[in-house]
Amino acid sequence: MTTLIACSHGTRFPEGRDAIRALVAQVQTALPDVTIAQAFVDVEEPSVDEVVATVEGPAVIVPLLLSAGFHTGVDIARAARTRHDVVATDPLGPHELLAQTLKQRLEESGLHDDDHVVLAAAGSSRPAAAVHVEQMRDLLAPLLRQPLTVGYAAGAVPRIATAVQAAREAGAARVVAASYVLAPGFFAREVAAAGADVVTPPLGADERVARVVAERYRSGVAALEALQSTR
């Protein structure tokens, strides 16, 4: 059986660690026969390099990250290259199930018809990350009646506070920040501090997010089998 290496960023915030553990538990429920190993690219241990070096048999690294960026393109990709029986998948986003989860978070936060929604992402200096966020916006927009724009906590523009201010200047009665972050932590706090009238909670441990992880894992297994068949 191919191991699933669930690789998240890592955080110093206990509530963030709890959310990731809960998500991994949901993934385990969705994939009861699969061995899951947790790994991290920063802050927490074990590192993805250490897990890849010690796991027995083939493995699929699924980034518990919402967009491509430095960690997917460098840390995770480097770890996957160290073995011929390990592959890394795409990040979790963009995905229709994430759009559905964001929509529910917005509705639970009391979204009004005359609100303006800012999709508030962590951000990255790598252009691919912004492309993924924009694709996520395009998936979410048809699910909402409200105007929808994008803001970033770091690495790209416009920053969330700028997007919030622009929405107000355009006449929005309220501005709602849809937290496009996976778990409580540094970036979730940046979203909360950006000045929106309402801020939704992170995606967190949600059955739909777990389904995306399982889908990425299955695609990775198929890619690994295709790769090995050519050797």
- State mean pLDDT over 57-65: 98
Residue 127's Cβ-count burial label (10 Å; 0-12, 13-18, 19+) is: exposed
How many angstroms separate the CA atoms of 51 and 221, rounded? 18
CATH of the domain at 150: 3.40.50.1400
Same domain, 157 and 110: yes
How many angstroms separate the CA atoms of 113 and 174, rounded? 10
**What is the overall mean pLDDT for the chain?**
96
Same domain, 84 and 120: no
pLDDT (tens digit, 9 = 90+) per residue, 97-121? Answer: 999 999 999 999 999 999 999 999 9
DSSP character string of 52-108: HHH--S-EEEEE--SS--HIIIIIIHHHHHT-TTEEE---S-S-HHHHHHHHHHHHH
| pLDDT the model gives residue 70 | 82
Position 189 confidence tier, pLDDT thresholds 50, 70, 90: very high
- State mean pLDDT over 18-45: 97
- Full-model pTM: 0.95
| pLDDT the model gives residue 6 | 98
Position 7 confidence tier, pLDDT thresholds 50, 70, 90: very high
Same domain, 170 and 113: yes
Same domain, 67 and 140: no
Same domain, 115 and 129: yes
Helix, strand, coil tally for the chain in percent (to 5): 45, 20, 35
Same domain, 193 and 103: yes
The DSSP output letter for 2 is P
Same domain, 165 and 124: yes
Residue 110's Cβ-count burial label (10 Å; 0-12, 13-18, 19+) is: exposed
Same domain, 39 and 76: yes
| pLDDT the model gives residue 227 | 85
| pLDDT the model gives residue 29 | 97
The DSSP output letter for 201 is P
Same domain, 100 and 66: no
Same domain, 135 and 59: no
Q: What is the dihedral of CA 41, 19, 210, 148, to 10 degrees?
A: -90
What are the distances in angstroms from CA 130 to CA 85, 156, 158?
A: 30, 7, 11
| pLDDT the model gives residue 141 | 98
Same domain, 114 and 195: yes
Token pair 């518990």: residue = 64
Number of structural domains the chain divides into = 2
Peptide bond into 201 cis (omega under 30): no
Same domain, 140 and 193: yes
Question: In terms of residue numbers, what domain contains 191?
Answer: 96-199
Q: What is the dihedral of CA 133, 137, 139, 143, to 10 degrees?
A: 150
Give the H/E segment covering residue 176: strand 174-180
Position 228 confidence tier, pLDDT thresholds 50, 70, 90: confident
